[in-house]
Structure 1
Amino acid sequence: MSSDFAAVAPGTVQLIDMIFPGDANHHGTLFGGVALAHMDKVAFISATRHGRAPFVTAASDKIDFRAPVRIGEMVEATGRVVRVGKSSLDVEVELVAEALVTGQRRICASGRFAMVAVKAAETVLPLPPLDLTASAPNDDFLRMIEIVFPPQTNHYGTLYGGDALKMMGKAAFIAATRHARAVMVMVMVMVMVMVASDKIEFKSAIREGELVELAARPVGTGRTSVQIAVDLWAEGLVTGERRLAGSARFTMVAVDREGRPTAFG
């Protein structure tokens, strides 16, 4: 995978996560508060990436919950900067649920968040204007964003290798499942499981508070398996400095309900 990987279009950010029982209520659907946390986080990252300054949430406007997100589904939060003022900006956020095997998608929530830049030594005002010419790259990468928080770091203040592998494994799982359903005939329910990881390289430490961007794509397909290459990029939210922090290759196998390998091609 090329080390000159480009970021998603400025002002647009995606957070992708899986919904587990701890995120859900007694109906088996995602808590509204957890959904709002996802939306606020993607608004914060979108704002910080645009303004390259520390931001806080000032207000959220007209949050509409349209459909539930169920346990076992993927949730994709997309944030896009739509208005920029001198020291504040607005981010529109859309939350989409996706059934990984069928690929069925539905909009579950949407809203607008007002973000204000905090006055600090690194804050430059006025904020940069919107770049209306920016567009997302046209390629087959799955892109995922994370932020490194204190519980994920060691006593040096850098990301644990195990947490980095967890992020990369999740990206590989989602990329493999999306790829497999695109080429398989749906004659039985199939899921993807990891059977091997190969050639894991950590090139740079990732510090607390930095943004982590994962870029995953299929690089080889067999009868029941697919190989996924994943690059791990670190980015300083305020400085914008990016570096390739790690890379790995995962072999994912399609299995049926009984856990037996099954062809998807």
Structure 2
Amino acid sequence: MSKTKEARPAVQLIDIVFPGDTNHHGTLFGGVALAHMDKVAFLAASRHGRAPFVTASSQKIDFAAPAQEGDLVEVTGHLVRVGTSSLDVEVELIAEAPVSGERRLCTRGRFTLVARKGPTTKLPLPAMFECAPIEQSSVLRLAEMVFPGQTNHYGTLYGGDALRMMGKAAFIAATRHTREVLVMASSDRIDFVAPIREGDMVELVAEVKMTGRSSVRVAVEIWSEDLLSGVRVHAATAAFTFVAVNEMGTSKTIRARHE
């Protein structure tokens, strides 16, 4: 089992707009978008300060474009100010059409979070440092968090929710790689090597390993990170296979991409 300490202030969450997340217009409900943004702000703050943060306020947030049902939503947070016990995180939400790859900025906002004072809170907060942008590469990294409703009676992430997270990460990676309509064909053996506890940050790392005539194979690792200590633990590994389908739901040849 590998354990390391890292401090990375930028956090990226990528989700899919499902019907339950939309309003009566078929676009992402504003409250869901704000929840994504607040979660990313909290994770970015916690990774920097390693303290128990609460959201104090957010500035005016204007929605410039909608995210449609079926779109991917990419939410990224960066520190822009650090004080003695509070900091600001700027969060950007971009919608992406999964097949065409067309991207549009939906909204951007700034959140202020405050570190709660306590025996484990170390103040002043660490000074802000320059953060490199998230690199665009063949390896997809996305963050999530474990809330009480996702845990079993032992207080650790329920296996079904871990599988859901891993399957979603694999689907996003495969879709971005092929820009095709995909369905999951199979999942290989999944090994859980360490528990993920309530309150942990979850980082999913997905990479396309093979592209066939009509199928894509994606490997996914899931890592847990204690937000106060920064200790990261490799929790599980899995592999998923997806198949490209046409309008009739039958397999089709994956088109060659010209970057």
Q: TM-score range by the shorter chain?
A: over 0.9
Find the aligned partners of 1:137 and 1:16 in 2 and give their Cα distance: 15
Which of these residues, 95, 120, 123, is aligned with residue 122 of structure 1? 120
The residue that corresponds to 2:186 in the other structure is 196
- Count of residue correspondences: 254
Q: One-letter code of the match for 1:216?
A: A
Q: CA deviation at 1:18?
A: 0.9
After TM superposition, the runs of 4+ consecutive aligned structure 1 residues lying more than 3 A away are 3-7, 133-139
For structure 1, the 5+ residue unaligned runs are: 182-189
Note if contact 2:3-2:231 (Cα within 8 Å) is conserved in structure 1: no
Q: CA deviation at 1:114?
A: 0.7
TM-score, length-normalised on structure 2? 0.93
Give runs of aligned pairs for residues 141-180 of structure 1, distance below 5 A.
Answer: 141-180=139-178
Find the aligned partners of 2:188 and 2:20 in 1 and give their Cα distance: 31
Say whether residues 1:102 and 2:100 are aligned partners.
yes
Q: CA deviation at 1:141?
A: 1.1
- Aligned-residue sequence identity (percent) comes to 61
Say whether residues 1:257 and 2:255 are aligned partners.
no
For structure 2, the 5+ residue unaligned runs are: none
Give runs of aligned pairs for residues 40-59 of structure 1, distance below 5 A.
Answer: 40-59=38-57
The residue that corresponds to 1:184 in the other structure is none
Once the two structures are superposed, what CA deviation does each residue of 1:51-95 show, in whole Å capped at 9, x if it has no partner? Answer: 000111111112121001111111111110111111111000000
Say whether residues 1:231 and 2:229 are aligned partners.
no
Say whether residues 1:218 and 2:216 are aligned partners.
no
The residue that corresponds to 1:240 in the other structure is 230
The residue that corresponds to 2:199 in the other structure is 209
Find the aligned partners of 1:48 and 1:70 in 2 and give their Cα distance: 30
The residue that corresponds to 1:185 in the other structure is none
Give runs of aligned pairs for residues 122-141 of structure 1, distance below 5 A.
Answer: 122-132=120-130, 134=132, 136=134, 139-141=137-139
Give SS of 2:170's match.
helix
Q: CA deviation at 1:5?
A: 9.9
Q: One-letter code of the match for 1:211?
A: M
Note if contact 1:10-1:134 (Cα within 8 Å) is conserved in structure 2: no
Find the aligned partners of 2:239 and 2:118 in 1 and give their Cα distance: 41
CA RMSD in angstroms, aligned pairs only: 1.8
Which of these residues, 74, 80, 84, is aligned with residue 86 of structure 1? 84
Q: CA deviation at 1:131?
A: 2.0
Q: One-letter code of the match for 1:63?
A: I
Give SS of 2:219's match.
strand
Q: One-letter code of the match for 1:24?
A: T
| CA 160–125 in structure 1, closer or farther in 2 if over 3 Å, else same | same
The residue that corresponds to 2:74 in the other structure is 76
Note if contact 1:173-1:252 (Cα within 8 Å) is conserved in structure 2: yes
Find the aligned partners of 2:216 and 2:12 in 1 and give their Cα distance: 24
| CA 98–136 in structure 1, closer or farther in 2 if over 3 Å, else same | closer
